[in-house]
Amino acid sequence: MKKYLIPVIAGSLLLCACGKKGSDGDVTRYETYYRAVTENTKFTAESENYTVSAEMTQWDDGTYRYYVIFDEPRISMYDIVIMAVEDNRPYEEAVKMMPSSGIFDATSSMIPNQVNSKAGFVKGLIISGECDEEPVELDIMVEWKDRSGKNATREFLTMELGMNGIISGSEEEVPQEEQP
């Protein structure tokens, strides 16, 4: 997992939208996705459509930085949006931006065995966040569209992440949610 640290950090810097000011539309989308995660009641630990891995490191100041990696797509996934919420914290109580991709920055697509970053086709996506203590429970929504752009699919994942990696995830298998 250590061999992934430098690419993970580099990727997270490219994908981090924390320092960026978003438009009102972006902020509304962020809140909508945030609420979709916290209002969802059924999560799964893994996906049949891509792999998910994660790691956590401790910084010198005692805080923790975590990275969640989505890669090895098994299907074509276009215009991917990812939103994570720490410890099921309600939107009104959040004092920081939660990790996301495709809301404040451009969306990317993952297609099996294809990479063309200039065209938006990436090998994988990384979201990262900071927390004061470990472990952290992450509830995550991954949304993507099909090739036509007409049908969206959402998956909701959950994991407990500590210094030794993913500690646990939901054992309950849940079907994907189709969006018109």
Rounded to whole angstroms, the Cα distance separating 64 from 56 reads 7
Q: Which residues pair with 144 in a beta bridge?
A: 153
Residue 67 has pLDDT above 90, yes or no: yes
Beta carbons of 83 and 103 less than 8 angstroms apart? yes
Task: Please say whether the dihedral angle defined by the alpha carbons of residues 13, 54, 79 and 73, taken in this order, is positive or negative.
Answer: positive
| Pairing of the two strands 165-169 and 152-162 | antiparallel
> Mean per-residue pLDDT for 145-170?
92
| DSSP 8-state symbol, 33 | H
Per-residue pLDDT at 5: 43
Per-residue pLDDT at 52: 97
Residue 179 has pLDDT above 60, yes or no: no
Per-residue pLDDT at 168: 79
pLDDT in tens, 76-132: 999 999 999 999 999 999 999 999 999 999 999 999 999 998 988 999 999 999 999
